[in-house]
Amino acid sequence: MVRKSKVAAAGAVAAVILGAGFAVQPAAQAEVPPVSAVVLSEGVTSAPFKIKANGDRKVLYRKAVVQPGASTGWHYHVGEEIAVIHSGTFTRIEGSDCSVREYGPGESLVEPVGPDTVHMGVNNGTEPVELYVVDIIPKNATAPTTPAPDPGCDTAGTRAGRGGE
């Protein structure tokens, strides 16, 4: 009986010693750089702009998606906005003169501020428009835009003017 106990004990010790060499080792962790950044989208604009801040401001960084046939509705901005078109074609209608401009991937737009700058964005395409947007708005603002009445532009040539088909 003593012999069986010694053999069993020796076997257990050997298993522990040999098993240690076969234990699952944690995978080597990839070194994480101390600082990293990923460009989510980029665009070019020739529009002049200044950012003025009288008092505290809130900065919003948003990804906006406009589905085919959808529009932003007529609105104006309560603070500065810079947008980059990442995908799709975005049609912007200026309320003051009813001019229309299309923006595509890699283009940027700088939105003017205030109730005298009413405009609307429309997706007349067949794929979603994806924009990355930075808004710099007054600290107490509840949203970056304010809805505005239709300035009377003929939007019949856009999906927005055809009921968002």
- Residue-wise pLDDT tens digits, 32-42: 888 877 888 88
pLDDT value for 40: 84
More confident residue, 135 or 31: 135
User: Distance between CA 48 and CA 86 in Å, rounded?
Assistant: 21
pLDDT value for 18: 47
User: Distance between CA 87 and CA 158 in Å, rounded?
Assistant: 19
Q: Which domains does the chain have, with CATH numbers?
A: 57-149 (2.60.120.10)
| 22: DSSP letter | H
- Residue 50's contacts (CB-CB under 8 Å, 6 or more residues apart) are none
pLDDT value for 26: 61
For 29-104, list the strands marked E by DSSP.
57-66, 75-77, 80-87, 90-94, 100-103
Question: What is the reported pTM?
Answer: 0.72
